[in-house]
Structure 1
Amino acid sequence: MNSNAGGDLINKAALDFWTSGKRREDIQLKDLEPMLSVGVFNNKNSGLWHSSLIDRNLIDYFVPLLPLEHKHVKMCVRAEMMARGHEVDEKVVQAVADEMTYFPKEARIYSDKGCKTVQAKLDIHEDIAKAMD
């Protein structure tokens, strides 16, 4: 099962780590699991609230998906360019990554949408490049 239940809690934890000077890569499952199990299972707004999955103890693991940083978004752009059979143009990589929205707004640390809009933004850059030829 894939769910973004607890996404806000994970994002808050990632921001707390960043605020305290720790790297995203330093976040361990043990740092998130207690908060997630309570926050997701006991949240009336969660899709898991009173779910038969919970009642039957059918969830074995939480795999928290951490928010992506600017460098991760750039990796997504490069991968998408290669998947399209294009040479990687670092100017385009930087431009697409910079166009993404990040939080917190003043620091722009984590991508709001991960890499979900990379394809569409790359399409726009390709259309502009074709129009200029």
Structure 2
Amino acid sequence: MFCKYNLIIILVAVDLKLSNSFSFNPVCWLSECCNKDYIPGDIERLRTSLRSRVYGQHLVEDAVDAISGHWNPHHRAEKALTLSFHGWPGSGKNYVTKFIAESLYKEGMHSSFVHNFIGRVHFPEEEKVKQYNENLGIWLKGNISQCPKQLFIFDEVDKMPADILNAVKPMIDYKNIVDGVDYTKAIFIFLSNTGATIINEHYHRLWHAGKKREELKLNDFENLISKGVFNEKGGFHHSDTIRSNLIDHYIPFFPMQEYHVKECIKDQFRERHVHNPRGSHIQEVMDFIEWGPDDSKLFSKTGCKRISSKVALLVAKHYPLASKQEL
């Protein structure tokens, strides 16, 4: 009797799994597979996340449209999609990248199809560039061979040794097949602080001219970044590696102004179950922010970075019930 009931339960579970799954492979019930279950590519979720959680960066919508078009089942991409995010620390580059991963992949940043390389961590030694490139080339080819819809994130590109990304160049060029592997469905995102000065100065000029932030368009900045970023001193070292014509879209991340930072602070309070923080506590976090440039004090020099720990301290000190709820 026990075995009979167990069998019924198993059959019901299998039936439910099959009715709600795109995959009939039992392996995929237990581990991540390269299918729509695990790579839903939920563009609407991405739009919603960015509109409700990212402040002052309306041009990231262009990145969303680029991803949507790239993975359009009715369109055959000619190359891997390459996005280059530029701006000051704390302006939201990593934050947006996290939302992209969470919307495209069921497991988000923990997905085996999402790969995050950090310049100073993964490529720390200048003299090992050749070895890094060889390993990276083999590794990229192996992963994309297993599943074409991969997301590769290269953070701190400006802090990588020169020519570290030679291995990537053939894979993001206008070629459908490289050594028998199709790279056209892959997405590469490069994150760099380089170009921040150019972006900030141009934005400051437009602001002084009376142009509203929300009126700014990608073409107000993209050519400026693509030309200037490769010449910026101490910047993007890879002018001979990732040529500007291999980057599909340069996305500027604007410096954060006072009302954007306040929204970030409120968001951090909400994450800790405090939905109506006192104004004095918001201001207490704001007091830690350093502002620039000197003539206008318009921008936060660290964007929304470093506010999380300040908010955590205030919640623990003044909102004990919320602190317990989080635990």
| TM-score interval for Structure 1 and Structure 2 normalised by the shorter chain | 0.7 to 0.9
Identity over aligned pairs, percent: 30
The 1:42/1:107 distance shift into structure 2, 3 A limit, reads closer
Find the aligned partners of 2:195 and 2:257 in 1 and give their Cα distance.
19
The 1:48/1:59 distance shift into structure 2, 3 A limit, reads farther
C-alpha distance after superposition, 1:67-88 (max 9, x if no partner): 1111010110111001011232
Provide the residue aligned with 1:2 in structure 2.
191
2:248 to 60, 65, 83: 60
The one-letter amino acid paired with 2:301 is: D
SS at match of 1:62: strand
2:299 counterpart of 1:110: yes
Provide the residue aligned with 2:95 in structure 1.
none
Q: Which has the higher helix share?
A: 1
- Length-normalised TM-score, structure 2: 0.36
1:96 to 249, 263, 285: 285
5+ long unaligned stretches in structure 2: 1-189, 320-327
Provide the residue aligned with 2:257 in structure 1.
69
Find the aligned partners of 2:212 and 2:274 in 1 and give their Cα distance.
32
The 1:25/1:16 distance shift into structure 2, 3 A limit, reads same
2:239 to 34, 50, 67: 50
In the TM superposition, what is the alpha-carbon distance from 1:106 to its structure 2 partner? Answer: 4.4
In the TM superposition, what is the alpha-carbon distance from 1:21 to its structure 2 partner? Answer: 2.1
The one-letter amino acid paired with 2:260 is: H
Root-mean-square deviation over aligned CA pairs: 2.2
5+ long unaligned stretches in structure 1: none
Provide the residue aligned with 1:26 in structure 2.
215
The one-letter amino acid paired with 1:70 is: E
Provide the residue aligned with 2:268 in structure 1.
80
Q: Which has the higher strand share?
A: 2
The 1:125/1:107 distance shift into structure 2, 3 A limit, reads farther
Find the aligned partners of 1:38 and 1:98 in 2 and give their Cα distance.
37
Structure number with bigger Rg: 2
Find the aligned partners of 2:214 and 2:301 in 1 and give their Cα distance.
18
